[in-house]
Amino acid sequence: MADILASLRSLMASQSPPLDALLVLSEDYHQSEYVSARDKRREFVSGFTGSAGLALITKNEARLWTDGRYFLQATQQLSDQWKLMRIGEDPPLDVWMSDNLQKEAAIGIDPWCVSVDTAQRWERAFAKKNQKLVQTSTNLVDEIWKNRPPAEINPAVDHPLEFAGRSVAEKLKALREKLSSEKARGIIITALDEVAWLYNIRGSDVSYSPVVHAFAIVTLNSAFLYVDKRKVSSKVSSSLQANGIEVREYGAVSSDAAMLASNQLDQAMGVNFGQNGVCQNDTCDNDLIWVDPASCCYALFSKLDANKVLLQQSPLALAKALKNPVELDGLKNAHIRDGAAVVQYLVWLDKQMQEIYGASGYFLEGEVTSKKIPNAPCRETMKLTEVSVSDKLEGFRASKEHFRGLSFPTISSVGPNAAIIHYSPQAKTCAELDPNSIYLFDSGAQYLDGTTDITRTVHFGKPSAHEKACYTSVLKGHIALGNARFPNGTNGYSLDILARIPLWRYGLDYRHGTGHGIGSYLNVHEGPHQISFRPQARNVPLQVSMTVTDEPGYYEDGNFGIRLENVLVIKEADTEFNFGDKGYLSFEHITWAPYQIKLIDLSILTPEEIQWLNRYHSKCREILAPYLDKNEMEWLKKATEPMKG
């Protein structure tokens, strides 16, 4: 790590002007949450593997900022060359740089890897001391990364209408109408899931996300896809062309953005004005170029006339979040199959924990009777690890119809590891399962008809009274949010508190948001809405046909972690009254897997909460029955026996 920092500092000194600091971000050219192996630059320089974080390298220091999900993980992974900066507790990066770097300092950044709003926020902060954000002509990390993974050439595929629910023509028409209403003549689309959704294509360029590395530009008269053409088959090319979409090389987006700014792109491509019926000539009133400041990189924004840019959230973000009926049906079906896989996994794991470790099992609270696992060499083949059991879970999912892979790296965590919110077990260092400790698994899959995300927390031995109280408090918050009814116009910021109140009663809390949207065979984390204490959760009200997770938790460093997560669909609520004629909304659970009754302290639950759990468990039995064999069904019946308060 020291050699990497020394090499970067040498490169920084050789720049013109010499750089006093270098920023290394987690994102790729599309501001993605999950990135391909070759884009993990921040991980390469710091050793920290979490999905969110930002590295700052100065002449004498190296600091890494990350959020509460990763404090414990970063502490463990960062070498003594690095100092951890805790977002929300330590000064924000722009404040720290403004206060600690010298006047007129030059701070380097790859403009392709930073969003417009982030770059502009930093520039405002730096202006106080005449510090400057310098756009480097190449990414300095790439220059020293000797064994950087190569770009993969993975094929783009059509996403059929039977799963997409809306045609490309419909989506383009709606987008152009939105452009016209905002006086825009074109839009640059940079978010990978938005490009995939708009053009009904999918790919495998990024692990866990079925997207293609591509940009799109759509004008009132034309549409372009910027992608490595080797990824586009004749079949995909034909379907794109049939919708008036021209395929261009990935790197051409830079020069085309400049042509778009000068209103020459359509003419240069020989587009006939008015062919799409929105703008009949080249003298329309529409003169703005729309870019999303949160996802458009600064490099492309710099090609535009800043006075003629509409900096506003992409219209595709909300359109994509509002699932159509076909997508909703697909998501529900995918979650049923996924729930069956989770139950099959729990049945298998319960049996293994009893047979190998002498655990009392999923249903009983006895002490471990004996360690049945023998000594080496048999031990290595018999023992259960966080990785080996998560591989088994993936196997159960892989047997289901339409399975296309996982939707994120499975969080399979025992005891203290479960307290690491986004823990990622590694084969060489992961823990062995322990019948005396809590086990948390947060996992999901990509199916052609939907994306899934579920978390359950279990114990195969005798949980302590404290563990039960914490689990039940998390469960109470989970139920409270899932049962909420709220007026139209309510945002996720307002609802976040519902999941925390049962924990706050004991002085407990958690450092992550409570809910995120989920894609339709797309990204597992999808905006623009969210349920969170973070201010951006105020930006978008929750609306009918949105999906959102319900996932409160509690984590004790060094001891255990608890999280429970279901996916919900927002629907109209049937209320007795309708104050203010606003209309009211509620949630529908579409995740089906039992909560562990052994971990519940029934004395803490209200009769209404017990009634809800019994109803939910009854639905689990009914809905999953067609997917389970006799033994699995017997296990599920026992796991969902009615509780009595």
**What range does the domain containing 337 cover?**
325-363+383-639
Q: Assess whether 39 and 117 both reside in one domain.
A: yes
DSSP assignment letter at 115: B
Choosing from 117, 144, 171, the residue where a domain stops is 144
Q: What is the C-alpha separation between 412 and 392, in angstroms, rounded? A: 11
Tell me if 524 is assigned to some domain: yes
Q: Assess whether 139 and 181 both reside in one domain.
A: no
Give the closest residue to 615 by CA, choosing from 577, 575, 588: 588
Q: Assess whether 299 and 357 both reside in one domain.
A: no
Average pLDDT over residues 405-427: 95
For the chain, give the mean pLDDT.
94
Q: Assess whether 502 and 620 both reside in one domain.
A: yes
Strand 184-189: give its sheet, edge to edge: 245-248, 223-226, 215-219, 184-189, 288-291, 309-311
The per-residue pLDDT for 367 is: 82
State the pLDDT confidence band at 29, using cuts at 50, 70 and 90.
very high
Tell me if 73 is assigned to some domain: yes
Q: Assess whether 444 and 464 both reside in one domain.
A: yes
State the pLDDT confidence band at 346, using cuts at 50, 70 and 90.
very high
Tell me the β-bridge partners of 413: 440
Average pLDDT over residues 423-448: 96
Q: What is the C-alpha separation between 311 and 116, in angstroms, rounded? A: 9
Residue 111 CA to its chain's centroid (Å): 23
Tell me if 92 is assigned to some domain: yes
The per-residue pLDDT for 273 is: 52
The per-residue pLDDT for 272 is: 61
The per-residue pLDDT for 316 is: 98
CATH number of domain containing 530 = 3.90.230.10
The per-residue pLDDT for 374 is: 56
State the pLDDT confidence band at 370, using cuts at 50, 70 and 90.
low
Residues 224-254 pLDDT 10s: 999 999 999 999 999 999 999 999 999 999 9
Q: Assess whether 531 and 422 both reside in one domain.
A: yes
State the pLDDT confidence band at 369, using cuts at 50, 70 and 90.
confident
Q: Assess whether 572 and 479 both reside in one domain.
A: yes
Answer whether residue 371 shows pLDDT above 70: no
Choosing from 144, 168, 201, the residue where a domain stops is 144
Q: Residue written as tokens 């290595």? A: 380
Q: What is the pTM of this model?
A: 0.93
Residues 374-403 pLDDT 10s: 554 555 678 999 999 999 999 999 999 999
Residues 249-289 pLDDT 10s: 999 999 999 999 999 998 877 776 544 545 544 445 789 99
Q: What is the C-alpha separation between 155 and 233, in angstroms, rounded? A: 7
Q: What is the C-alpha separation between 119 and 641, in angstroms, rounded? A: 55
Question: Cβ(401)–Cβ(429) under 8 Å?
Answer: no
CA angle (294 as vertex; 18, 152 as ends), nearest 5 = 75
Residues 463-481 pLDDT 10s: 999 999 999 999 999 999 9
Number of neighbouring beta carbons within 10 Å of residue 28: 22
Q: Assess whether 301 and 337 both reside in one domain.
A: no
Q: Residue written as tokens 């992409």? A: 314
Tell me if 149 is assigned to some domain: no
Q: What is the C-alpha separation between 345 and 388, in angstroms, rounded? A: 12
Question: Cβ(3)–Cβ(145) under 8 Å?
Answer: no
Average pLDDT over residues 130-144: 95
φ/ψ of residue 111, rounded to 5: -65, -15
Q: What is the C-alpha separation between 398 and 410, in angstroms, rounded? A: 14
Q: What is the C-alpha separation between 225 and 435, in angstroms, rounded? A: 52
State the pLDDT confidence band at 373, using cuts at 50, 70 and 90.
low
The per-residue pLDDT for 30 is: 96
User: Which one is predicted more confidently, 444 or 374?
Assistant: 444
CA dihedral 520, 522, 525, 530 (to 10 degrees): -40
Give the closest residue to 538 by CA, choosing from 496, 486, 479, 510: 496
The per-residue pLDDT for 283 is: 46
CATH number of domain containing 190 = 3.40.350.10
Q: Number of structural domains, the chain?
A: 3
Q: Assess whether 256 and 348 both reside in one domain.
A: no
Q: Assess whether 311 and 339 both reside in one domain.
A: no
The per-residue pLDDT for 372 is: 57
Q: Assess whether 339 and 298 both reside in one domain.
A: no
Q: Residue written as tokens 């999923």? A: 362
Answer whether residue 46 shows pLDDT above 70: yes
Average pLDDT over residues 571-597: 97
Choosing from 90, 111, 144, the residue where a domain stops is 144
The per-residue pLDDT for 314 is: 97
The per-residue pLDDT for 152 is: 85
Tell me if 377 is assigned to some domain: no
Tell me if 548 is assigned to some domain: yes
Tell me the β-bridge partners of 83: 63
Tell me if 278 is assigned to some domain: no
State the pLDDT confidence band at 584, using cuts at 50, 70 and 90.
very high
Tell me if 150 is assigned to some domain: no
What share of the chain has pLDDT > 70, as a percent? Answer: 96
Residues 184-197 pLDDT 10s: 999 999 999 999 99
Minimum mean pLDDT range among 172-176, 284-288, 301-305: 284-288
User: Three-state DSSP class for 623?
Assistant: helix
Q: Assess whether 202 and 95 both reside in one domain.
A: no
